A = this chain, B = another copy of it.
Amino acid sequence: MWGLELLGMDGWRREMAGTRRHGAGRGRPTLEEVAARAGVGRGTVSRVINGSPRVSDRTRTAVEQAVAELGYVPNRVARALAANRADAVALVIPEPETRLFAEPYFSDIIRGVGAGLADTDLQLLLTLIRTPKERQRLAEYLSAHRVDGVLLVSVHADDPLPDLLERIEMPAVLSGRRSAHESVPYVDSDNTGGAQSAVEHLIGRGRERVATITGPLDMYVAQCRLEGYGAAVRAAGREVEEELVVSADFTEEGGRRAMWQLLSQRPDLDGVFAASDVMAAGARQVLRENGRGVPDDVALVGFEDSAVARHMDPPLTSVRQATEEMGRAMVRVLLEEIGGRSDHTAKRPQLVLPTQLVRRESS
């Protein structure tokens, strides 16, 4: 079934048949040559390269010198084939998301992942998923175990990938849970706590009628932030009023619409917690259009602390996530998964990173 598709991909290569012969790679020293130079066997060099302890110091020094003299760099491809590993992990990003979260989120995650991988000699393979067909291709690719582990960013609840990965026993880590009882290892930030602290802050500043603009409630992250809102409201001895809760879709336009609705339902609101900075930006516009000053008439708080927050007027108070740290943590967890896969009974590592409220002039 896929066969035909696979053939298609090779099109470009046909043209270049034979073209590439100019010794790419050939001519570089091999293990064997290093061995010859050091006057030892192939196996010994391999042991030295891989830091095996079962090598005498004398031999090790000799080999190391030969390596240095020849400028030997191991051929990852050969190594991967022989050892049947890939020496690579994939970072999978569903393309539509990059537009949504955009901003620093992705680059921060990537940066964190890069940092985490830096002293690993694992390669980072980036995979953008645009279409179901590409997802299918990725699934094949992963099933063929061409990577040692997978990092999944912002998976939707109905994404089949995590389960597929679990079935084929491919180590994987999610950024963000799909639901309250996520079975796959993940790293998430404390959405509930962050939201709660934001709303507590609003209430602490004397706001009486604090509304919230939520994300799409079929996303767990949106549920959590709403829950945090509720927790803060109740902690202040108030009740969650339906009219003060409107959900949107994490976009600017959604934020605008939600703000209009809030304003018409409860013109007397004096505080808004938006579950994302971009929605806050939309809300801010609508507030301005309606002559409501921020923060004088309405105090506004966002979530994510992206560049947008800093550049808004007035600059937006927002909940900062340790995004880069998330990337780094994901790598840590993945490495554990890859390494310690022996005992299947072990609890899957699941991490929740703290958030931090960044106060600015909007509240």
| Closest chain B residue to A316, Cβ basis | B311
A86 proximal to B (CB < 8 A): yes
A134 proximal to B (CB < 8 A): yes
| Contact for A3 among B26, B85, B121, B160, CB less than 8 A | B160
With A1-B68, A14-B51, A24-B85 as given contacts, are A110 and B136 in contact (CB-CB < 8 Å)? Answer: no
Instruction: Give bound CA distance, A327 to B310, whole Å.
Output: 28
Assess whether B128 is in contact with A110, with CB atoms less than 8 Å apart.
yes
| Closest chain B residue to A8, Cβ basis | B1
With A14-B51, A16-B338 as given contacts, are A77 and B81 in contact (CB-CB < 8 Å)? Answer: yes
Residues on B with C-beta less than 8 A from A75 are 81, 144, 146
Which residues of chain A (9-43) have a CB below 8 Å from chain B? Answer: 9-16, 19-20, 22-26, 28
With A73-B140, A84-B26 as given contacts, are A128 and B146 in contact (CB-CB < 8 Å)? Answer: no
Assess whether B307 is in contact with A16, with CB atoms less than 8 Å apart.
no
Assess whether B76 is in contact with A78, with CB atoms less than 8 Å apart.
no
Count how many chain A residues have C-beta atoms less than 8 Å from C-beta atoms of the other chain.
101
Instruction: Give bound CA distance, A144 to B123, whole Å.
Output: 15
Q: State which of A101-109, A183-191, A214-222, A350-358 sits at the interface with chain B.
A: A101-109
8 intermolecular pairs with C-beta atoms under 8 Å apart: A2-B135, A20-B148, A20-B341, A23-B83, A24-B170, A28-B145, A78-B81, A308-B311
Q: State which of A112-120, A201-209, A230-238, A242-250 sits at the interface with chain B.
A: A112-120
A335 proximal to B (CB < 8 A): yes
Which residues of chain A (65-96) have a CB below 8 Å from chain B? Answer: 65, 67-68, 71-78, 80-81, 83-86, 91, 95
| Contact for A312 among B49, B139, B311, CB less than 8 A | B311
Q: State which of A161-169, A256-264, A266-274 sits at the interface with chain B.
A: A161-169
| Closest chain B residue to A122, Cβ basis | B12
With A20-B85, A145-B28, A146-B77 as given contacts, are A10 and B121 in contact (CB-CB < 8 Å)? Answer: yes
Instruction: Give bound CA distance, A72 to B7, whole Å.
Output: 12
Q: Shortest beta-carbon distance, A201 to chain B, in Å?
A: 22
Instruction: Give bound CA distance, A146 to B123, whole Å.
Output: 11
Instruction: Give bound CA distance, A2 to B91, whole Å.
Output: 20
For the A-B complex with A2-B160, A6-B67, A25-B144 known, give 15 more contacts whose Cβ atoms are closer than 8 Å. Answer: A2-B73, A3-B160, A6-B74, A12-B120, A15-B339, A16-B340, A20-B85, A24-B169, A25-B145, A73-B140, A73-B143, A106-B107, A107-B107, A118-B134, A307-B308
Assess whether B128 is in contact with A125, with CB atoms less than 8 Å apart.
no
Residues on B with C-beta less than 8 A from A80 are 77
Assess whether A6 is in contact with B84, with CB atoms less than 8 Å apart.
no
Assess whether A111 is in contact with B95, with CB atoms less than 8 Å apart.
yes
Instruction: Give bound CA distance, A272 to B12, whole Å.
Output: 48
With A114-B126, A160-B2 as given contacts, are A81 and B81 in contact (CB-CB < 8 Å)? Answer: yes
| Contact for A24 among B51, B64, B145, B164, CB less than 8 A | B145
A360 proximal to B (CB < 8 A): no
Residues on B with C-beta less than 8 A from A14 are 50-52
Instruction: Give bound CA distance, A51 to B168, whole Å.
Output: 30
Assess whether B19 is in contact with A121, with CB atoms less than 8 Å apart.
no
| Contact for A23 among B81, B85, B118, B120, CB less than 8 A | B85
- 1/0 per residue, CB under 8 A from B, across A128-167: the answer is 1010101110011101111010000000000010001001
